[in-house]
């Protein structure tokens, strides 16, 4: 019988969760943009996709990116997974799901300040994305535009134009994120560049 009491480190290999996270982002932004564009009349049927694809799928991707020690994917997917939970719950409060008391206290400015806070965080993420690849940088840049316009629209600053810009930028995010989900899935599946994601911009160098 062995008397070696030394600890052993077991590493469990997990697949890249990026395609799942980007797919979740693509679906929720596609459905949400349809509501902003007036094609879908209300947010009621957006809520399930916000909770499942926007929140749960991105939180799953975040967890496994932490397992990969991928600080960018883990942080961004995690932050925006919680973002969609917060947005969905805000819509539910406004609809009276949690009772008349909470519904009576609704103040859209609170959501506007949340959008503003997320905009600041997204700008930080955009700086990091510039050194990942072109796809991520452009996707994050569109997210910056979306969040800033959502903040302005919700806070009642700048007129209706902010709502329109938010709608179209969200639709572009959906289309680009679906491409990114497909690219990372196919590139990983085939073990080569099947769909290109572009090179890092080389603005800031990692140490």
Domain chopping of the chain, boundaries: 18-190
Judged by DSSP in three states, 182 sits in helix
Closest CA to 25 of 185, 171, 148, 188: 171
Contact (Cβ atoms closer than 8 angstroms) between residue 169 and residue 203: no
- Which parts of the chain register pLDDT below 70? 1-12, 206-207
CA pair distance 183, 195, nearest whole angstrom? 5
Whether the predicted model's global pTM rises above the 0.75 cut: yes
For residue 22, give both structure tokens. Answer: 């980007």
For residue 35, give both structure tokens. Answer: 């509501």
CATH number of 18-190: 1.25.40
For residue 205, give both structure tokens. Answer: 């160098």
Length of the chain: 207
> If you ran DSSP here, which 8-state letter would residue 195 be given?
S
The helix (H) or strand (E) run that includes residue 87 is helix 71-94
Closest CA to 84 of 32, 120, 20, 149: 32
Contact (Cβ atoms closer than 8 angstroms) between residue 123 and residue 133: no
pLDDT value of position 160: 86
Closest CA to 70 of 130, 18, 13, 146: 18
For residue 21, give both structure tokens. Answer: 């996270």
pLDDT value of position 27: 98
């Amino acid at each position: 019988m062995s008397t070696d009491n030394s600890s052993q480190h077991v590493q469990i290999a997990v697949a890249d969760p990026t395609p799942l996270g980007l797919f979740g982002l693509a679906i929720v932004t596609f459905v949400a943009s349809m509501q902003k564009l007036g094609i879908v009349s209300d947010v009621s049927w957006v809520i399930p996709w916000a909770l499942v694809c926007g929140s749960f799928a991105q939180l799953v991707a975040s967890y496994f990116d932490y397992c990969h020690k991928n600080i960018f994917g883990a942080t961004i997917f995690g932050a925006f997974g919680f973002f969609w939970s917060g947005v969905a719950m805000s819509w539910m409060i406004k609809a009276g799901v949690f009772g008349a008391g909470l519904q009576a206290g609704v103040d859209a400015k609170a959501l506007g300040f949340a959008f503003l806070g997320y905009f600041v965080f997204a700008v930080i993420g955009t700086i990091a994305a510039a050194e990942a690849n072109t796809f991520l940088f452009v996707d994050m840049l569109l997210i910056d535009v979306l969040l800033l316009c959502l903040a302005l629209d919700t806070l009642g600053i700048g007129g209706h134009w902010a709502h329109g810009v938010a709608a179209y930028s969200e639709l572009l995010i959906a289309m680009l994120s679906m491409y990114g989900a497909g690219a990372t899935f196919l590139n990983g599946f085939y073990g080569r560049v099947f769909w290109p994601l572009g090179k890092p911009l080389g603005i800031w160098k990692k140490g």
